Structure 1
Amino acid sequence: MELISLAILGLLIVISPGADFVLVLKNSLNHGRSAGIWTAIGISLAITIHITYSLLGISYLISQNEMLFNAIRYAGAAYLIYLGVKGIFFSDNKTDLQGDTAPSKSGKHFLAQGFLCNALNPKTMLFFLSVFSQVVSTNASDNHVALLYGAYMIAMHFLWFSLVAILFTSKALQTRLLNMKKLLNQLCGAGLVTFGTVLALKS
């Protein structure tokens, strides 16, 4: 597969709506722009994990071991459902939205959320397995293309999700989102629960 095609494929995967997008949106709306960006950093760091085991061939072994693969799948599903339930039942009625103010919790908290959300997603693992099979060389010393592609994917995840955090905490959207905060929280929560449930039930 040509590198340009791989680059376009990677971009489409990054911007397609999924659990990562919903989590960044939820954290940005509730805790401010900084929280959303910390979540984006966590997601980007998780990509390094996927890249590492793809280069080492571990992802192939995981995908061939049904028990281990299912353990990762259920752990990821449980975490998404947990985050979703929190969003549905613990949404507040406050009518203020956070802009670029400091988050109410430590940045490490949101970084960990983003990291776990992405790292425990077996769909991401299988994507990197399929893509890196196109760029990984059998000669370990000749994997500069794979490393460059990995760096590209890390950068795309960070830039896209940081952009999401910035856009949804911008002044232009504040008034439109002001009276929808609780509903948006509940929709984000329902989305995470749905992603988690589908992940758990998918054979």
Structure 2
Amino acid sequence: MYWTELLTVALIHLLAVASPGPDFAVVVRESVANGRRAGTWTALGVGSAIFLHVAYSLLGIGLIVSQSIVLFNALKWLAAAYLLYIGIKALRAKPADPCAGEMSTLAVERTPRGAFTAGFVTNGLNPKATLFFLSLFTVVINPHTPLLVQAGYGVYLAAATASWFCLVAWLFSQQRVRAGFTRMGHWFDRMMGVVLIGLGVKVAFAELP
């Protein structure tokens, strides 16, 4: 009975998750700089944050945020500040020590908790994600759809998001890919810093539709 609705949700989500944004940038940076393990944990953090969006959408909190300019602005400034923070850190990257050895030894030790948190915070604070899930659960999904079924959609969305970004992490943590970016040295970090700062500025100037 709900297969048509699920397919619609899946298609809309696929188009949204495949478009590059803060989540993509953070997963790519972690994967290239710190390897597949860090990239995968970051992807799992992004996927887990989906449960946060689904929870407040089902509770109706998302609607309150969307109707309150103060709350919406607070959320977007937090998101922008975080993206600017990690962007500036990347922008200040210094050239590697030529005596440091192989690429594997150059990778900064990254804890699973740190990588997971980076993904979770990036997605969780994204006001665009707030508006996306609000639209999904108020316009696309029929309000008469049982709460349990809607929660099931949420589980699917979280799993699909995590799977997509795990694939991104796997692709960008390939030895050949990492080696290519490593040859760019600290310029890759600086380039990603510019991208993250640009995304932070874009989020900062986001407005309610």
What is the TM-score when the length of structure 1 is the normalising length?
0.89
Could you tell me which of 103, 113, 116 is aligned with 1:111? Answer: 116
Could you tell me which of 9, 24, 27 is aligned with 1:6? Answer: 9
Shift of 1:165: 1.1
1:58 paired residue number: 61
State the alpha-carbon separation in 2 of the partners of residues 193 and 178 from structure 1: 21
Could you tell me which of 133, 143, 151 is aligned with 1:128? Answer: 133
1:179 paired to 2:175 = no
Paired positions, count? 200
- 3-state secondary structure, aligned to 2:132: helix
1:30 paired to 2:40 = no
Among the aligned pairs, what percent are the same residue? 37
- Whether the aligned pair in 2 keeps the contact of 1:73 and 1:120 (CA below 8 Å) is yes
- 3-state secondary structure, aligned to 1:137: coil
- Whether the aligned pair in 1 keeps the contact of 2:50 and 2:124 (CA below 8 Å) is yes
Shift of 1:53: 0.3
State the alpha-carbon separation in 2 of the partners of residues 5 and 111 from structure 1: 29
State the alpha-carbon separation in 2 of the partners of residues 181 and 166 from structure 1: 20
1:81 paired to 2:87 = no
1:72 paired residue number: 75
Shift of 1:105: 2.5
- Whether the aligned pair in 1 keeps the contact of 2:44 and 2:162 (CA below 8 Å) is yes
* C-alpha distance 186-149 of structure 1, shift in aligned 2 (>3 A): same
Shift of 1:138: 4.6
Could you tell me which of 146, 153, 159 is aligned with 2:163? Answer: 159
What is the TM-score when the length of structure 2 is the normalising length?
0.87
Deviations 1:137-177 (A, max 9, x none): 357xx223312221121111111111111111113324433
State the alpha-carbon separation in 2 of the partners of residues 6 and 62 from structure 1: 22
- For structure 2, list consecutive stretches of 5 or more residues without a partner in the other structure: none
State the alpha-carbon separation in 2 of the partners of residues 165 and 91 from structure 1: 24
State the alpha-carbon separation in 2 of the partners of residues 192 and 85 from structure 1: 8
Task: Give the aligned residue type for 2:128.
Answer: K
State the alpha-carbon separation in 1 of the partners of residues 178 and 75 from structure 2: 38
- 3-state secondary structure, aligned to 2:96: coil
> Please, which moves more after superposition, 83-92 or 14-23?
83-92
- 3-state secondary structure, aligned to 1:180: coil
- For structure 1, list consecutive stretches of 5 or more residues without a partner in the other structure: none
- Whether the aligned pair in 1 keeps the contact of 2:32 and 2:178 (CA below 8 Å) is no
- Whether the aligned pair in 2 keeps the contact of 1:39 and 1:113 (CA below 8 Å) is yes
CA RMSD in angstroms comes to 2.3
State the alpha-carbon separation in 2 of the partners of residues 41 and 85 from structure 1: 24
1:195 paired residue number: 199
